[in-house]
Amino acid sequence: MGRRKRKNIKIIRRKLPKVFGCPDCGMFSIRVLINKEIESKIVCGSCGLTWKKENTTKNPEVIDIYNKFIDEFVLARG
């Protein structure tokens, strides 16, 4: 007698994006550059928007820096 085959269940793990949307021009062209010890920099490839901030944590994540940028950008505009 043969054995039944088991189903292989693939777990799909989502990855964080590397390019984000620009709140100024609306294009998906924002890159986050991190120098872990000194500062983080955000640059938009289409409209040229730049933003620099000193790092407060030892190992900052890209999404955390982008969210801080969006918060400060909305507060400055509003």
> What is the amino acid identity at position 44?
C
Tens of pLDDT, residue by residue over 3-51, are 888 889 999 999 988 999 999 999 999 999 998 778 999 999 999 999 9
| Residue 19 is assigned to a structural domain of this protein | no
Report d(CA 28, CA 20) in Å as an integer.
Answer: 5
- Give the DSSP H/E element, type plus range, for residue 65: helix 62-77
Query: For residue 5, is it within any domain?
Result: no
The parent domain of residue 73 ranges over 30-77
**3-state secondary structure at position 64:** helix
In this prediction, residue 1 has a pLDDT band, given cuts at 50, 70 and 90, of low
The one-letter amino acid at 65: I
Q: How many domains does the chain have?
A: 1
Q: Which amino acid is at 24?
A: D
Tokens 């040229």 map to which residue?
Answer: 48
Q: Where are the beta strands (DSSP E) in the chain?
A: 30-34, 39-44, 50-54
Domain assignment present for 69: yes
